[in-house]
């Protein structure tokens, strides 16, 4: 039937036309991104393992709980803690037990020791029943995480999180799992001197998390709580789903020594009253699931008018002074950073990590004097932030994470030049001038802190 309207919006598009509206700033690739594996179990099997570690003097304390799947009658259990050479250093025959590792080797993040870091043990569990035998080997590291009003502590030593948020994104593969790319990225993280990453804005593939455990890269593990930007997101259905998402993420990653902080959301709307009940529920739920790690969300608001930050253990904030406002005016960065962070500190009296700051930069674009999108501007921009960070680094600032590790694809938009270009590296993993700036800075910070441990 022909439309009789003089001006009709829908007549400008083909029948059935629609555009997916996404509220996050990375490309929404379709398809299966990661490996899918099928496996079978005996009738009685090992369904889950929880490991909590502590340190007392030279001993490592390992509290574990083993959960059965299927009928639990007439089962026997053999539990061993194996060191990195496969030698048993503690044994038990109980499903729940506290074991002691004498002269324990601790898991330290990269950059906190001159000796080998990221030492991993294995909890080997053998469950035997009339239905058969199930064997599971759970890697773990012995380490503690704690926050004070001014510090983030790993094994009771101050840890400064200098690193990068990432994305699972590259040319050709898109978000598809790529082992060679994972190896390349971890080589670049070590070259850069990064001690930590943030899984912006969703849990990353287990293969990436395995590398963090094994190479000592600390992780702020973030849920897919991105795009919670309207009051409509705070309904019971959304809250119920968010709680379940946190259940799944904590269950998957709870035994990983690399995971030091849980992040429940990225840049959510927290300036309306409805946000308080929602985020109080999610944050306290996550703390109940795992009381051994601090919980946060990543804030993009100012220090006033916030209903949710009072429930977090550590404050993570994203700041883009001289980019999204006062664009090009690097001379205001130091003053604005210092004012903003000191106000946050006054309001909450907890440690702060700057989890994003950055400027889009087209590799190979140069200009003197510097101009936005040039490599020179990115270097000047980051340098001003660093000068501000250094004034607070030994007070209450416990981390800085430049956005982003590498350029990544986004939806088509006039504010993005073929994707987000804020990377230190191009999408093909080639360094910009800023990568060399950060390498020098991170190595300098590492040299300051490495003597603290030994």
Please identify which of the residues 222, 267, 356, 375 carries the catalytic annotation: 267
User: In this structure, how many other beta carbons lie within 10 angstroms of the beta carbon of residue 239?
Assistant: 17
CB 70 within 8 A of CB 131: yes
The 3-state DSSP class for residue 363 equals coil
CB 268 within 8 A of CB 306: no
Tell me the DSSP string of 226-285: B---SGGGGSHHHHHHHHHHHHHHHHHHTT-TTEEEEEEEES---SSTHHHHHHHHHHHH
User: In this structure, how many other beta carbons lie within 10 angstroms of the beta carbon of residue 55?
Assistant: 16
Which residue reads 């898109």 in tokens? 174
Q: Which residues touch 303 (CB under 8 Å, ≥6 apart)?
A: 340, 343, 344, 346, 347
Which residue reads 């950073």 in tokens? 337
- Count the helices and strands in the chain (H runs, E runs): 7, 18
Closest CA to 308 of 343, 337, 268, 261: 268
CB 82 within 8 A of CB 70: no
Look at the chain and count its residues.
454
Name the DSSP letter for residue 420: B
Q: How is the chain split among helix, strand and coil, in percent rounded to 5?
A: 30, 25, 45
**233: its two tokens:** 């997101």
Clarify whether 267 is annotated catalytic.
yes
Q: Which residues touch 194 (CB under 8 Å, ≥6 apart)?
A: 110, 162, 163, 164, 217, 442
CB 99 within 8 A of CB 78: no
Which residue reads 């999108």 in tokens? 373
Which residues belong to the active site?
267
């Amino acid at each position: 039937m022909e439309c009789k309207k003089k001006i009709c919006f829908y007549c400008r598009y083909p029948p059935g036309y629609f555009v997916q509206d996404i509220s996050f700033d990375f490309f929404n690739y379709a398809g299966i991104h990661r490996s899918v594996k099928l496996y079978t179990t005996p009738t009685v099997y090992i369904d889950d393992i929880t490991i909590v570690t502590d340190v007392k003097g030279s001993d490592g304390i390992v509290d574990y709980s083993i959960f059965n799947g299927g009928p639990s009658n007439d089962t026997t259990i053999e539990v061993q803690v194996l060191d990195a050479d496969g030698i048993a250093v503690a044994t038990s025959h109980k499903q729940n037990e506290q074991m002691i590792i004498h002269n324990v080797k601790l898991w330290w993040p990269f950059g906190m020791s001159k000796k080998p870091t990221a030492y991993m043990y294995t909890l080997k569990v053998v469950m035997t029943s009339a239905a058969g035998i199930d064997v599971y080997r759970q890697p773990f590291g012995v380490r503690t995480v704690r926050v004070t009003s001014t510090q983030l502590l790993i094994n009771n030593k101050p840890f400064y999180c200098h690193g990068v948020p990432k994305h699972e994104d590259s040319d050709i593969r898109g978000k598809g799992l790529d082992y060679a790319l994972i190896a390349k990225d971890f080589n670049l993280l070590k070259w850069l001197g990064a001690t930590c990453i943030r899984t912006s804005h969703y849990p990353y593939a287990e293969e990436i998390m395995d590398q963090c455990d094994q190479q000592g890269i600390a992780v702020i593990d973030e849920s897919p709580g991105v795009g919670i930007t309207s009051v409509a997101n705070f309904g019971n259905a959304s809250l119920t789903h968010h709680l379940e998402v946190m259940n799944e993420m904590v269950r998957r990653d709870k035994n990983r020594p690399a995971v030091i902080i849980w992040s429940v959301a990225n840049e959510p709307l927290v300036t309306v009253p409805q946000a308080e009940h929602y985020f109080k529920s999610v944050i306290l739920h996550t703390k109940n699931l795992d009381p051994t790690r601090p919980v946060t969300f990543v804030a993009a608001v100012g220090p006033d008018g916030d209903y949710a930050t009072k429930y977090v253990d550590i404050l993570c904030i994203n700041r883009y002074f001289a980019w999204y406002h006062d664009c090009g005016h690097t001379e205001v960065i130091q003053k604005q950073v210092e004012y903003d962070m000191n106000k946050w500190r006054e309001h909450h009296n907890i440690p702060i990590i700057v989890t994003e700051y950055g400027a889009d930069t087209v590799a190979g674009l140069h200009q003197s004097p510097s101009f936005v999108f040039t490599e020179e501007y990115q270097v000047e921009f980051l340098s001003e932030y660093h000068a501000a960070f250094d004034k607070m680094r030994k007070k209450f600032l416990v981390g800085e994470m430049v956005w982003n590790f590498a350029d990544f694809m986004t939806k088509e938009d006039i504010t993005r030049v073929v994707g987000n270009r804020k990377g230190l590296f191009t999408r093909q993993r080639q360094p910009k001038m800023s990568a060399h700036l950060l390498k020098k800075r991170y190595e300098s910070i590492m040299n300051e802190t490495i003597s603290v441990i030994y």
